[in-house]
Amino acid sequence: MAYRVVSNKDETVRLFKSDFLEFFSRVHPGVPVIIYLPLVIYFLYRAASDSLVSTGGIVLLFFAGMLAWTLTEYLLHRFLFHFEPRKEFWKGIFYLFHGIHHEYPNDSKRLVMPPAVSIPLALLFYALFYWLIGRPYHEPFFAGFVFGYLCYDLIHYATHHFSMKRGIALYLRKYHIRHHFQDEKRSFGVSSPLWDYIFGTSPQKKTQNNPN
């Protein structure tokens, strides 16, 4: 499903008739930091307090969790957010997920994931890691996973609202802008291009030298 850019301005449109639902569809970019940074610190503290996990193990599991997030980010963006349903009802649902962002890419109130969505997902992933890895090893892994998510939200906001004039910041900005304005079937990574290169969805060579 191809979306057209309706506005490049920092403006928002109403999605719901209900004021209650509309309120929860808009999020200040600082909200994820307030919610999740203390959570990361808490689980790192718990891991450090447990004699079963060495310092080296905590570091390794933390970065493994961050890597797991980059894969999750890629898979969600490619296969869920850009899923193309046939029925009109589901088209509307997926438009709320991601289509609105492609039509209003610089809407600062809809650039980070609403807590109403991110908190249930965090609980789901916590349970999954507990089941797969087991306590206490899942705690630093989950901390890294959540920190990776937090980096994703902040990088996503920055790519649309900060100038990011040099280095890796400029590279990530250009990389994500390609997804919006050149080919939305490529460049699914936001915080990392790693999985695009692994799975063959990196930008085509003819567009890589384009400054935007």
Residues 153-198 pLDDT 10s: 999 999 998 888 889 999 999 999 899 888 889 999 999 999 999 9
Is 70 exceeded by the pLDDT of residue 17? yes
3-state secondary structure 91-121: HHHHHHHHHHHHHCCCCHHHCCCCHHHHHHH
In a domain, 175, yes or no: no
pLDDT at 12 over 80: no
Residue 212 pLDDT > 50: no
DSSP alpha helices (H): ranges in the chain?
19-24, 31-48, 55-75, 88-94, 100-103, 115-132, 138-161, 167-181, 194-199, 205-208
Residue % of the chain over a pLDDT of 70: 93
Domain encompassing residue 40? 29-162
93-135 pLDDT, tens per residue? 767 767 788 888 888 888 888 898 899 999 999 999 999 999 8
Residue 212 placed within a domain? no
Cis status of the peptide bond prior to 203, with omega within 30 of 0: no
Residue 10 is assigned to a structural domain of this protein = no
* HSE-up of residue 124 (Cα within 13 Å, Cβ side): 6
Q: Determine the Cα–Cα distance for residues 160 and 169; give it in Å rounded to an integer.
A: 12
* Domain annotation covers residue 21: no
Does position 149 have pLDDT exceeding 90, yes or no?
yes
Average pLDDT over residues 20-32: 85
Is 144 or 89 the better-scoring residue by pLDDT? Answer: 144
pLDDT at 136 over 50: yes
Q: Is residue 96 part of a domain?
A: yes
Longest CA–CA span in the chain (Å) reads 55
Q: What is the mean pLDDT of residues 205-212?
A: 50
Between CA 64 and CA 205 the distance in angstroms is 30
What's the structural domain count of the chain? 1
In a domain, 178, yes or no: no
**Is residue 195 in some structural domain?**
no
pTM score, two decimals? 0.89
- Residue 184 has a CB neighbour count (10 Å cut-off) of 16
Residue 183: its pLDDT value, please? 87
